[in-house]
Structure 1
Amino acid sequence: MQRFSSIFPVVTVLFCMLLIAGCAPKMRSAAVPRPEGKLAVAGFSNPVYNWQILAGYLAEEGHPVPDGTVETLDAVLVDTLARHQVFDYITPAAVKQCEDVVVFEESGLPKVSAWKYWLGVGKCIQADYLLVPQITYWRERVGSDAGVQTPASVALDFYLIDVKNERMTRSRYEETQESLLENLFTARKFAKRGGKWVTATRLASDGIEEKLMELGL
């Protein structure tokens, strides 16, 4: 008990310092130069089978995200691009038209790979680059912002396809929220979130912010 009492004030001070630091405004810049050429941005998709994803594999097949999740993240994606001063791109609504065209053209044929499908979408929309975001895991928190039985957990993949050269860059975001005492290395992030347990949507929003920067967007 005495040892806990001596450590607790130190942890409390550390948390307060991190909370203050997390609230300070910071200028962030993209990790790489912005892709040059015509950019198209697809809306989020939610693969439920492994053949639908562009890389890797699903932890569990056949488990779609809750209704409304894709639409919510699409709105977050558009807002984040705007905050990053990315305006000149082909919108998800326009890309969706080509998604429907490629599906129609492939009807009656053997199932195509996700790579061939999205490359076809990029060529259909006549883009130099196509951003394809996918939700590959989603678990909502069980509890409230004050305490949880199960924390929120998400996994998102962002693929930037170079349509002309038929190459792809992948950026993956995975996070299961942890408390300050569970992992001091994530203390700054926990403090930035007000020391609260957040929703899966908040985790995903942070992931969109981080990974767009990583891809130069």
Structure 2
Amino acid sequence: MKRIALSFGLVVVCLSLLVLAGCGTKRTAAVPRPEGKLAVAGFTNPVYNWELLAGYLDEEGHPAPDGTLETLNMVLADTLNKHQVFDYITPAAVKQCEDVVVFEDSGLPKLSAWKYWLGVGKCIQADFLLVPQLTTWVERDGSSAGVKRPATVAIDFYLIDIQQERMIRSRYEETQEALLDNLFTAGKFADRGGKWVTATRLASDGIEEKLMELGL
């Protein structure tokens, strides 16, 4: 009888959390939008530690599947548009400067990731450069109803102030958890329809969350 009462109580708590999660107010940016000309680089997928702007990889030499970065670039563009961030230098234009910086420094000792991206920002003549880096991509093993292994995603966003030569890092890292494993994820559980989601959905949620943190 006690076990039945405990189970019922747990269900009530879960339902209450879901109701509260669905009644949340609209999220707003955590900080003011950066003032000045913004450039946005396309997603990169570092597979070696020297390619990272910060931190380190759990394991080197494991790139994300083909097509992943293209998908993330589309999600990034859609999210910026939803946030009404329109006036920025596009990844296609930034890519031209990425190629220029590589060409100009060919034959020289390998640049650090920081010097490289700072050089790209100066080349494109932006005040701020947003650099997104995908560091972990594990697709779910299973379906929306149940999984043997949930999806895992880790993305770093770096907002580089070109003039001041400094940067802000905002990291998103998530392995989806079942509701009863962590009641604090009730809001996300409700937003995702109580289903096991793909790595792309996790990344989409992360892009939304971290752009807001950076004022974008």
TM-score interval w.r.t. the shorter chain? over 0.9
Residues 54-133 of structure 1: matches in 2 within 5 Å?
Answer: 54-133=53-132
**For residue 33 of structure 1, what is the amino acid of its counterpart?**
P
Letter in 1 for 2:47: V
Does 181-190 or 41-50 show the bigger shift? 181-190
TM-score, normalised relative to structure 1: 0.95
> How far does the alpha carbon of each residue in 1:166-190 deviate from its partner, in whole angstroms, 9 at most, with x for none?
0000000110111111111112211
**Which residue does 2:165 correspond to in 1?**
166
How many Å separate the matches in 1 of 2:17 and 2:78?
Answer: 27
Asked whether the 8 Å contact 1:19–1:194 carries over to 2, the reply is: no
1:7, 1:206 → 2: CA distance? 33
In the alignment, the residues of structure 1 paired with residue 136 and residue 3 of structure 2 have an alpha-carbon distance, to the nearest angstrom, of 37
TM-score, normalization by structure 2: 0.96
Say how many residue pairs are matched.
216
Are 1:145 and 2:174 matched, yes or no? Answer: no
Task: Name the counterpart of 2:201.
Answer: 202
The answer to whether the Cα contact below 8 Å between 2:21 and 2:186 also exists between their aligned partners in 1 is: no
SS in 1 for 2:55: coil
Deviation of 1:20 (Å): 3.8
Deviation readout 1:8-37 (Å, 9 max, x if unpaired): 223333333333444447421100010000
Contact kept, 8 Å, 1:156 with 1:173, in 2: the verdict is yes
Whole-angstrom distance in 2 between the partners of 1:26 and 1:92? 32
Q: Which runs of 5+ in 2 are unaligned?
A: none
Which secondary structure does the structure 1 equivalent of 2:193 belong to?
coil
Letter in 1 for 2:164: N
CA deviations 1:125-168 (Å, max 9, x no partner) are: 00000000000111111111111111111110000000011000
Report SS of the residue matched to 1:175: strand
Q: Return the alpha-carbon distance in structure 2 between the equivalents of residues 25 and 97 of structure 1.
A: 42
Closer, same or farther: CA 182–25 of 1 in aligned 2, 3 Å: closer
Aligned to 1:175: 174
Q: Percent identity?
A: 75
